[in-house]
C-alpha cells in the first residue's frame, strides 16, 4: 500500500490504482501535446481548447465513475472525454472533420461525446451543458437508475445565470448530480478578480443548499477522494454536490501555443503552477513509495506514444463525409 | 352514428396530455403552474392528481435552465412537455432551444434525439401590454432543426399535440390563448396529425388566403361573408410552419392567381413574408395581382383599449384585401364587411369574440 | 419619543415619523382596496397585482430614500410606485388606459414609472428589472452621484439566473444598490418549497459576497432600520446589500379577489398572516404609546378617502389617447 | 489632394470607439474581452489604456444580466456599447433586448430612451461548427423598436457605428468577422451615416441584386464578372435592416424588372423573404421574372470543411441566378463564373478570401 501522499493525508492508495491514475493523466497530456504539435499542419481545422495542466481533475473524477454514469462537458472537453473512456480515434477523426468522427465531423473539437461510455455531450456555449447534465440526472432519477450525472464547468460558467437555475433545481429535487468546477483562474484572458467578488466559488453552491467542497485540482488523489464522497452522496439519494478544483491551464485559451507574452498573467504565476504539475506531483510520490521508476515510466510513455501515433495515422487516412450528406439528419427519425 | 363529441381546445389539450402520460411512461410535463389548481388555462388541470408530481413537475421560475434540463432529460430518452404561459417568457430560453435542442440531431450525425415539446401560449386582450401579448412564431420558424406548429381548431390541437409528443425532435407548439375557448368535434381516442404542412380549410376559386393560428378563424369568417357576395376563396391553415411545406399553397395560388397572407404576429419579417417569397419564386407566373399582407403593424402592443382597437386586424381586413384583388364592387365589400361586424355584436376587441366559440 | 416597539427592540422612533409611516401604509392599503372594489366596473382593463398585506416593505424602504434615488419594480409595483412618491392620478389613468397615464395608457398596471420621483421603471417579466436596477446603480456610480438604486424583487425572482448575474456584477463593482426581496412565500399558486431548497434566501446573496439581512417584512420599523443600514452602506461606497423581507399577499396573485378556496394555501396560514397585518401591527404600538388614537386614525382615513375618490373621478373622466397615436414613439428622438 | 487613408474595418471600428469615448463622457464599452490584450478581434485593443477600466468595462460571462445592466445605465443617460464576440452568445440576452430595450420608448410614450449599441459578431470559417457561426439578423429584424445595422465596407463600419452610438435607440450592430480584415478608404475625422436604409453599390440595368454584410462583397465580385460579359447589374447593400426602407430597392426593381436577394444567414424565413414580399406587394407589376433567393441552406453549419464547402453560397451562385433571370448564354455564365473562381485562387472556404482584403 502506498500511503501518506502529501496533499492527501490519511489516504491509503492502492499502488496499481495510483499508477493507473498516473497513466491516465500521462495519456491525456501526451495526446494534447501531440495535438498542439500537429495543429500547424492544418489538418485539425477547428478551434481546440487544450487541458494541459488540468489533467488531474477528470482523471480523479472518472476514477470513481461507472460507464453508465453520465458526463457533460464544455468547450474544453478533450480530457473529460478521454478520461470517461471516449474513443481516441473518434476524437481525432472529429477534430479532422472525418466521417468517423464522433459527430461525423459535424461538431469539431467542442462537441465530443460518446454515448457508449456515458459521455453524454459537450457544448461550446459557456454553461449551456450545465442544465443538460442536470436534466440527465433528472432522467436517471425518473428511471430509478442509481447512476449519477457529472457536470464539468469552468470558473466562468458560475457567472452565467443558468448555473444557478440548474443548481437550484437540482437541490429542490435532490438530483444525483455532481458539479465539478475546474477553477483555472481565467476566462480567456480575463482573471477571476475582474469577474467575481472575492469569495470562494463553493460559497455559491452552498447558497443553493448544495454540499460543496474545495480541493487542490492538481492533486489527483484529493480530487478522487472528493469525487468519491460526492458521488456516493449523489448515488445514495442524498442529493447534489459541488466540487471546486483549483487548477491551471498552461497553454493559450484556444489553440496550441503558449501566450504568457500577452501579459494577461504573469510568468511567475505560470511558473508557480508549472511546479505544481499534476503529473509530476503524483509521480514524485509514486517514486518515493517505490511504485514508479524511470523504466516503468518510459514504458508507459512508449506504449502511449504508439497508441497516439496509430490513432493519428488512422484519422489522417480516414475518409471525409460525402458532401451530399451535408443536409442529412436535420431531423431525427 | 352517434353525435360527435364537442369539446374546447383547452379540454382537447388536457385530454391529449392525459393520454400521452398514460400511454408512455417517459412522458412528463414541466412548467410554471403545470401542477397548480388552475393548471395553465385548464390544460393541465388535475393531471397532477392522476399522475403525481414526478410526472407533472412544477418548476421554479427559471425558463432557460429548465429548458436545458428538459433537453437533457430528452437526450436520455424522456419525453418532456414543457409549457410557457406566455411566449414572452420563452425568450429567456432561446439559447437552449436554438443552440442545443435544434442542432442536436444534426451535430451528432443523427445519434442524439431530443423528443421535447414546448408549448408556448400567445394571445391578446385585456390590456396585457407589450410584454405579455407577443406572437413570436417568426423567430422559431427561422431556425432549422426545430419543428413549429400552430393549431387552430380543437381537432388540430389534439392531433398535432399527439404528433408533437410522439416526434423525436424539439417541437415548438404555439397555442393562441383565445383558441383555448373554441370548441369543436374531437374524437375521444388517440390520433395524430402528421407534422407535415398546411391544410385546406375552405375551397373557393377567387383567391388564396393563408393564415395561421387565431387568424384562421378570422379568415373562415371572412370566407363565409365573401362567399355570400359571390366570391368564394381558398382558406389555408398554415398549421405546421416548420418543416415548411408550401405545396398546398403553391397549388392553390396556381388555381386562384391571387394571394393574401394573414399573420397572427408582426407583418414585417413575418411568416407571411416567407409565404410570399416562396410563391414569388416558385409560382410567379400564376400570380395575377400583387400579393397582400395582413398582420400586426410595426409597433408593440399598447395596453389601452383605445390604442389596441386599431392594432388587431380581422376578417374585415381580409375582406378588403380580397375585394381589392378580385375587383369586387364596393357594395359587395361593404355587405360582406357589415356581416362580420354584425357577427361581432359590438364586443370590445380586448375580449374573445363569443361567435368564435365554435363548434369549429 | 416612542420607544420599545416590540418587533424592533432598541429602536427609538419619532412619533411623527411613525405616524407618517402609518399614513403611507394606510394610503396604499386604501388605494389597493378601492382598485379591488372598482375592478368589476371594467374600467381598469388590464391585469392588476395588488400589494394588500405587503405595504410595510415599500413604506419602510422609501422612508430612507431620497427623491433622486432610483427604484425599479416588478409586476407587483403599485405600492412601490406610490411609496416612492409616484402620482396617484397618473397611476389610475394608466390602469384605465388614458392618455394621462404615466405611460400614456400603453403599459397598464405592470409598467408604472415616474422619472420625476426616481421611480425608474417596472417590468412584468419576472426578474427582468433586476439587472436594469443594477445598471442604474452603475450609471449613478459612473456619474459619481451619491444616490442609490433599489431593486424590488419577489421570492420567485431569485430563481431566475439573471438575479445571480446581477448580484455578481454588483458585488464585483461594489455598486450602490440595495436588493429588496419581498418574500411572500408564493409564486402565483406555487409555494416556496416546491421551487427552492430549504435554505434562507439571504444565503444566496451571501454566496455572492453581498451584505445580507432577513427582516420581518410586516414590521415597517424593522424594514426601515434594515433599509437605513443598507442604504447607508451603498451610499458610502461600501457596496451592495440584500434585504429579505418576509411578508404575505392577501388577495389572489392577479386580480381583485381572495383565492384561498383554490386550496393552494391554507386558511390557517392566511389567518395567521392576517393577524400580522402590518398596519395593525404598527397601529397597536402607536396607540399603546399614545401616538395614534381613533379620531386621528379616522381623520387620516377620511383625508385619504377624499384623495382617492377625487383621483378616480379625475381618471374616469380623463380622455383616451387618440387611436392615430398608436404608432407614435416606436423610436425615441 | 492627398491620397485617401486606407485602413481595415477592425481599425475603423476601433477608431470610431475611441472617438466616441473621447467626445462623449457618457459612452462606455462593455463586453467579454473588451479590455483584454487582444481586444475583440482588435476592435477595442488598447482602449482600456487610454480610457481606463470604468469606460472600457470587462464583464463576467453573463450576457443576459449585462444586457439588462447596459439597458439600465442607458435609461440613466449613459451610452453603453456592448459587444458579443459571437451572435450565438447573444441569444442569452434576447429577453432583455426584445422585451425591455425594444419596447422602452414605445411603452413609456416616448419618455424613456435606451441609447444602447450592441455589437454582435457573426462569421464563418475554420470549423467553428453549428453554435459558433450563425448569422441571426432575421431574429432582430422582426422586432419593432430595435434598429438593426449590417455594415459592409470599412467606410460603412465607421459611419454607421458612429450613428448607432449617437442614436437614442437600441441598435443591433452586426459585424461579419471576415469583414474586419477588409480594408478601404476611411476619413480620419468623425462622420455618421444615417441609419435609414440601403445604398446603391453598383448601378447596372439588367437585374437587381440585394445583399447584406459579407454577401455584399460576393455580389460586387459577381457584378464585376457579369459586367465583363455584358450584363451590368444593380447591387444594393441592405445596410440598415430596421427601420426597413425599401425605397431604393423598389426603384431599382422598377428599372430592372428582376430581383435576386442574397442572405448572409439562412434563406428560409430570412431577410430576403421580406425583401421579396415587399417587392411582390409594391412593385409587382415591374417584376418580369420569378425572384431568386440565395442564402444558407436549411441546416446548421457543419464543422468539417468537407461539408462546409457546399454550405456557403458565393459570387458563383449570384452569377448563375442573374444569368438565368437575364437569359444569358451558357458561355457567358461560364466565363463569368470562371473569373470569380480564378480570383479565389483555390483558397479553402474556411479561410477568408485574400482577394476580399480590399481596398473597397
Ligand atoms: C455564452 C458564452 N459566452 C462567451 C463565450 C466565449 N467563451 C468561450 S470559452 C470562454 C471562457 C470560459 O472560461 P471558463 O468557464 O473558466 O473555462 P476555461 O476556458 O477556463 O476552461 C468564453 C468566455 C461562450 N463560448 N459562450
Ligand atoms: C420570466 C417570467 N416567467 C413567468 C412569469 C409569470 N409570472 C408572473 S408573476 C409570477 C410570480 C412571481 O412571484 P414572485 O417573484 O414571488 O412575486 P409575487 O407575485 O409573489 O409578488 C410569475 C411566475 C413572468 N411574468 N415572467
Ligand atoms: Mg477558467
Ligand atoms: Mg412571491
**DSSP states of A107-125:** S-GGG--BGGGTEEEE-SS
Determine if ligand 2 sits within 6 Å of the CB of residue C186. Answer: yes
Kindly indicate whether the domain formed by B199-343 is annotated with CATH number 3.40.50.920.
yes
Average pLDDT over chain B, rounded to whole?
97
Residue C208 Cβ < 6 Å to ligand 2 = no
List every span in chain D annotated with CATH 3.40.50.970.
Answer: 6-185
Return the residue whose CA atom lies nearest to atom 15 of ligand 1: A154
CATH T-level topology, domain D6-185: Rossmann fold (3.40.50)
Which of D63, D156, D274, D339 is an active site residue? Answer: D63
- A210 to chain C, minimum CA–CA distance in Å? 9
In chain D, positions 165-194, which contact chain A (CB-CB < 8 Å)? none
Catalytic: B50? Answer: no
Q: Return the exposure string of A131-149: e unless at least 16 CB atoms fall within 10 Å of the residue's CB, then b.
A: bbbbbbbbbbbbeeeebbb
According to the model, what pLDDT value does residue C12 have? 57
- Determine the distance in angstroms separating the CA of D292 from the nearest CA of chain B, rounded to an integer: 6
| Torsion (CA) B243, B244, B248, B254 in degrees, nearest 10 | -160
Is the distance from the beta carbon of residue C224 to the nearest atom of ligand 2 less than 6 Å?
Answer: no
Are A164 and C161 spatial neighbours (Cβ–Cβ below 8 Å)?
yes
Q: Which ligand has an atom closest to residue A154 CA? A: 1
Which three cell numbers mark D34? Answer: 473588451
**Looking at the predicted structure, is the pLDDT value of residue B207 above 60?**
yes
Task: Give all chains having 3 or more CB-to-CB distances under 8 Å with chain A.
Answer: B, C, D
Length of chain C, please? 333
C70 alpha carbon to ligand 2 midpoint, in Å? 22
Question: Which tens digits make up the pLDDT trace of C278-323?
Answer: 999 999 999 999 999 999 999 999 999 999 999 999 999 999 999 9
Tell me the residues of chain B between 228 and 287 that have a Cβ less than 8 Å away from chain A. 243
d(CA C147, CA C237) in angstroms, rounded, equals 10
From B63, B156, B218, B274, active-site residue: B63
> Helices D9-23 & D154-166, crossing angle to 10 degrees?
30
Domain positions in chain C: 5-249+264-317
D84 is written with which cell numbers? Answer: 458579443
Distances (CA, A) of D41 to A47, D37, D178, D311: 15, 10, 10, 25
- Compute the average pLDDT of residues C71-99: 98
Ligand minimally distant from the alpha carbon of residue C57: 2
CA distance B70 to chain A (A): 6
Band (B2; pLDDT cuts 50, 70, 90): low
Cα of A51 to nearest chain D Cα, Å? 19
Query: Contact at 8 Å (CB) between B184 and B6?
Result: yes
pLDDT above 70 (res C3):
no
- The per-residue pLDDT for B145 is 98
Q: A178, A236 in Cβ contact below 8 A?
A: no
pLDDT class of C5 with cuts at 50, 70, 90? very low
SS3 D172: strand
Catalytic-residue membership of B63:
yes
Burial of residue C145 (number of CB atoms within 10 Å: 0-12, 13-18, 19+): middle
For A72, the closest chain B residue by CA position comes to B72
What are the strands of the beta sheet with A211-216, ordered from one edge?
A: A119-122, A70-73, A149-154, A177-183, A241-246, A211-216
CB B16 within 8 A of CB B158: yes
Task: Answer whether C201's CB lies under 8 Å from C257's CB.
Answer: no
- CB-based contact (8 Å) between A258 and chain D? no
Extract long-range pairs of A300-309: CB within 8 Å, 24+ residues apart.
A300/A22, A300/A23, A300/A26, A301/A26, A301/A30, A304/A23, A304/A26, A304/A27, A304/A30, A305/A30, A307/A27, A307/A88, A308/A30, A308/A31, A308/A34, A308/A88
Q: What was the pLDDT predicted at C1?
A: 30
Q: How far apart are CA D324 and CA C302, in angstroms?
A: 82
Q: Where in chain D is the domain with CATH 3.40.50.920?
A: 199-343
Beta carbon of C156 within 6 Å of any ligand 2 atom: yes
Q: Report the pLDDT value the prediction gives residue A15, as an integer from 0 to 100.
A: 80
Give A-chain residues touching B64 at CB under 8 angstroms.
131, 161-162, 165
What is the CA angle D338-D342-D344, rounded to 5?
A: 125
Q: How far is CA B292 from the centre of its chain?
A: 21
CA distance D255 to D229: 20
Q: Which residue has the higher pLDDT, B358 or D203?
A: D203
Average pLDDT, chain C: 95
- Of C72, C188, C194, C254, best ligand 2 pocket probe by most atoms within 8 Å of the beta carbon: C188
* B-interface mutation test, from A75, A132, A145, most B Cβ less than 10 A away: A132
Q: Does A322 touch chain B (CB under 8 A)?
A: no
Q: What pTM did the predictor assign?
A: 0.98
CATH of domain A5-249+264-317: 3.40.50.970
End-to-end CA separation in angstroms for chain B: 19
Per the omega criterion (within 30 degrees of 0), is the bond before B359 cis? yes
Which ligand neighbours the alpha carbon of C49 most closely?
2
Measured in Å, residue A241 CA sits from the centre of ligand 4 at 28
Query: Residues, chain A, total?
Result: 333
Which cell numbers in the block locate residue C315?
381618471
| Burial class, B289, CB count within 10 angstroms (exposed 0-12 / middle 13-18 / buried 19+) | middle
- Ligand located closest to C75 CA: 2
Residues 6+ apart with CB under 8 A from A23: A300, A304
Give phi and psi for D262, each to the nearest 5.
Answer: -125, 115
User: Length of chain D in residues, anyone?
Assistant: 360
Beta bridge partners of B342: none
Residue A208 to residue A175: CA distance in whole angstroms:
13
* Contact indicator for A195, C170 with CB cutoff of 8 Å: no
* DSSP alpha helix (H) spans, C173-293: 192-195, 201-207, 220-235, 267-275, 278-288
Tell me what the mean pLDDT of segment B13-21 comes to.
98
Low-confidence spans in chain D with pLDDT less than 70: 1-2
B354 in contact with chain C, both atoms CB, cutoff 8 A: no
Q: Point out the residue among B35, B65, B303 whose CB comes nearest to the CB of C106.
A: B303
Please identify, by atom number, the ligand 1 atom nearest to the C-alpha of residue A75.
9
To test ligand 2's pocket by mutation, which of C58, C108, C128, C156 has the most ligand atoms within 8 angstroms of CB? C156
Interface contact A329, partner B, CB < 8 A: yes
HSE toward the beta carbon, residue C259, CA cutoff 13 A? 17
Sign of the alpha-carbon torsion through C316, C319, C325, C329: negative
Measured between CA atoms, how close is A240 to chain B, in angstroms?
15
- pLDDT exceeds 70 at position B7: yes
Residue B76 CA to residue B68 CA, distance in Å, equals 13
Facing D99 at nearest CB: one of B88, B244, B282: B88
pLDDT at D2: 64
Q: At C76, phi and psi to the nearest 5? A: -95, 70
- Residues B265-312 have pLDDT tens digits of 999 999 999 999 999 999 999 999 999 999 999 999 999 999 999 999
Interface test with B, best of C39, C40, C44, C46 (most B CBs within 10 A): C46
Q: Is the CB of C75 under 6 A from ligand 2?
A: yes
What contacts D10, CB < 8 A, 6 or more positions away? D41, D42, D43, D180, D181
Q: Does the distance separating the beta carbons of B59 and C46 come in below 8 Å?
A: no
What does each of the 333 residues of chain A score in pLDDT, given as a tens digit? 333 344 444 445 688 889 999 999 999 999 999 999 999 999 999 999 999 999 999 999 999 999 999 999 999 999 999 999 999 999 999 999 999 999 999 999 999 999 999 999 999 999 999 999 999 999 999 999 999 999 999 999 999 999 999 999 999 999 999 999 999 999 999 999 999 999 999 999 999 999 999 999 999 999 999 999 999 999 999 999 999 999 999 999 999 999 999 999 999 999 999 999 999 999 999 999 999 999 999 999 999 999 999 999 999 999 999 999 999 999 998
Q: Looking at residue A10, what is its pLDDT?
A: 43
Contact A330 B106 (CB under 8 A): yes
Percent of chain C with pLDDT over 90: 94
Alpha helices in chain B (DSSP H): 9-23, 47-51, 63-75, 87-90, 94, 104-107, 137-141, 154-166, 214-228, 247-256, 271-282, 305-308, 315-325, 330-344
Kindly give the number of the ligand 2 atom that is closest to the alpha carbon of C75: 9
According to DSSP, the residues that pair with B261 across neighbouring strands are B210, B293
| pLDDT band for position C16 (cuts 50, 70, 90) | confident
CB pairs under 8 A between A and B: 143
User: What is the distance between the alpha carbons of residues B197 and B244, in angstroms, rounded to a whole number?
Assistant: 6
Partner residue facing D131 (CB), from A45, A123, A194: A123
Instruction: Output the pLDDT for position A12.
Output: 57
Measure C258 CA to ligand 1 centroid, in angstroms. Answer: 48
Q: How far apart are CA A59 and CA A180, in angstroms?
A: 12
- The model's pLDDT over A66-123, given as tens digits with 9 standing for 90+, comes to 999 999 999 999 999 999 999 999 999 999 999 999 999 999 999 999 999 999 999 9
Amino acid at each position: 500500500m502506498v500511503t501518506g501522499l502529501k496533499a492527501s493525508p490519511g489516504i491509503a492508495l492502492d499502488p496499481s490504482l495510483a499508477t493507473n491514475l498516473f497513466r491516465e493523466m500521462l495519456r491525456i497530456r501526451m495526446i494534447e501535446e501531440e495535438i498542439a504539435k500537429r495543429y500547424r499542419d492544418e489538418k485539425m481545422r477547428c478551434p481546440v481548447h487544450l487541458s494541459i495542466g488540468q489533467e488531474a481533475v477528470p482523471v480523479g473524477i472518472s476514477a470513481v465513475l461507472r460507464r453508465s454514469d453520465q458526463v457533460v462537458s464544455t468547450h474544453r472537453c478533450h480530457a473529460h472525454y478521454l478520461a470517461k473512456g471516449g474513443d481516441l480515434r473518434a476524437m481525432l477523426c472529429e477534430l479532422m472533420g472525418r466521417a468517423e468522427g464522433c459527430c461525423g465531423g459535424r461538431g469539431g473539437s467542442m462537441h465530443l461525446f460518446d454515448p457508449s461510455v456515458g459521455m453524454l455531450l459537450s457544448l461550446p456555449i459557456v454553461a449551456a451543458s450545465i442544465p443538460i447534465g442536470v436534466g440527465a440526472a433528472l432522467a436517471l432519477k425518473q428511471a430509478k437508475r442509481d447512476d449519477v450525472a457529472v457536470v464539468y464547468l469552468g470558473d466562468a460558467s458560475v457567472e452565467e445565470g443558468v448555473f444557478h437555475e440548474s443548481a437550484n433545481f437540482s437541490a429542490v429535487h435532490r438530483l444525483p448530480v455532481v458539479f465539478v468546477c475546474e477553477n483555472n483562474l481565467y476566462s480567456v484572458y480575463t482573471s477571476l478578480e475582474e469577474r467575481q467578488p472575492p469569495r470562494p466559488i463553493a460559497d455559491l453552491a452552498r447558497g443553493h443548499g448544495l454540499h460543496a467542497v474545495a480541493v487542490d485540482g492538481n492533486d489527483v488523489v484529493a480530487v478522487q477522494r472528493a469525487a468519491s464522497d460526492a458521488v456516493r452522496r449523489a448515488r445514495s439519494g442524498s442529493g447534489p454536490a459541488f466540487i471546486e478544483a483549483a487548477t491551471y491551464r498552461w497553454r493559450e485559451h484556444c489553440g496550441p501555443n503558449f501566450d504568457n507574452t500577452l501579459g494577461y498573467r504573469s510568468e511567475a504565476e505560470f511558473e508557480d503552477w508549472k511546479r505544481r504539475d499534476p503529473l509530476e506531483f503524483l509521480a514524485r510520490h509514486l517514486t518515493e513509495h517505490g511504485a514508479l521508476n524511470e523504466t516503468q515510466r518510459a514504458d508507459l510513455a512508449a506504449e502511449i506514444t504508439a497508441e497516439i501515433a496509430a490513432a493519428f495515422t488512422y484519422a489522417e487516412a480516414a475518409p471525409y463525409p460525402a458532401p451530399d450528406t451535408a443536409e442529412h439528419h436535420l431531423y431525427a427519425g | 352514428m352517434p353525435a360527435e363529441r364537442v369539446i374546447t381546445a383547452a379540454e382537447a389539450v388536457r385530454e391529449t396530455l392525459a393520454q400521452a402520460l398514460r400511454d408512455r411512461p417517459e412522458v412528463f410535463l414541466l412548467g410554471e403552474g403545470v401542477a397548480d389548481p388552475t393548471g395553465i388555462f385548464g390544460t393541465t388541470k388535475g393531471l397532477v392528481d392522476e399522475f403525481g408530481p414526478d410526472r407533472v413537475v412544477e418548476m421554479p421560475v427559471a425558463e432557460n435552465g429548465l429548458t436545458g434540463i428538459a433537453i437533457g432529460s430528452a437526450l436520455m430518452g424522456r419525453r418532456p412537455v414543457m409549457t410557457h404561459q406566455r411566449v414572452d417568457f420563452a425568450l429567456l430560453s432561446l439559447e437552449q432551444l436554438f443552440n442545443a435542442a435544434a442542432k442536436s440531431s444534426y451535430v451528432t450525425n443523427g445519434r442524439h434525439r431530443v423528443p421535447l415539446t414546448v408549448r408556448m401560449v400567445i394571445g391578446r386582450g385585456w390590456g396585457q401590454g407589450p410584454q405579455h401579448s407577443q406572437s413570436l412564431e417568426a423567430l422559431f420558424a427561422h431556425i432549422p432543426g426545430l419543428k413549429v406548429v400552430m393549431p387552430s381548431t380543437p381537432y388540430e390541437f389534439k392531433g398535432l399535440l399527439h404528433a408533437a409528443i410522439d416526434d423525436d425532435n424539439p417541437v415548438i407548439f404555439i397555442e393562441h390563448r383565445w383558441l383555448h375557448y373554441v370548441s369543436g368535434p374531437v374524437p375521444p381516442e388517440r390520433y395524430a396529425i402528421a407534422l407535415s404542412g398546411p391544410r385546406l380549410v375552405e375551397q373557393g376559386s377567387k383567391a388564396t388566403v393563408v393564415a395561421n393560428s387565431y387568424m384562421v378563424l378570422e379568415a373562415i369568417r371572412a370566407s363565409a361573408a365573401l362567399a355570400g357576395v359571390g366570391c368564394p376563396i381558398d382558406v389555408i391553415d398554415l398549421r405546421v410552419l416548420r418543416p415548411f411545406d408550401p405545396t398546398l399553397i403553391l397549388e392553390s395560388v396556381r388555381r386562384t392567381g391571387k394571394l393574401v397572407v394573414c399573420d397572427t404576429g408582426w407583418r414585417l419579417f413575418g411568416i407571411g413574408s416567407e409565404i410570399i417569397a416562396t410563391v414569388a419564386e416558385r409560382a410567379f407566373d400564376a400570380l395575377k395581382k400583387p400579393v397582400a399582407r395582413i398582420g400586426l403593424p410595426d409597433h408593440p402592443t399598447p395596453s389601452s383599449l383605445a390604442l389596441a382597437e386599431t392594432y388587431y386586424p380581422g376578417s374585415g381586413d381580409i375582406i378588403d384585401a380580397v375585394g381589392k384583388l378580385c375587383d369586387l364592387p364596393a357594395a359587395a365589400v361593404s355587405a360582406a364587411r357589415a356581416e362580420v361586424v354584425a357577427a361581432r355584436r359590438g364586443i370590445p376587441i380586448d375580449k374573445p369574440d363569443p361567435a368564435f366559440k365554435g363548434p369549429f
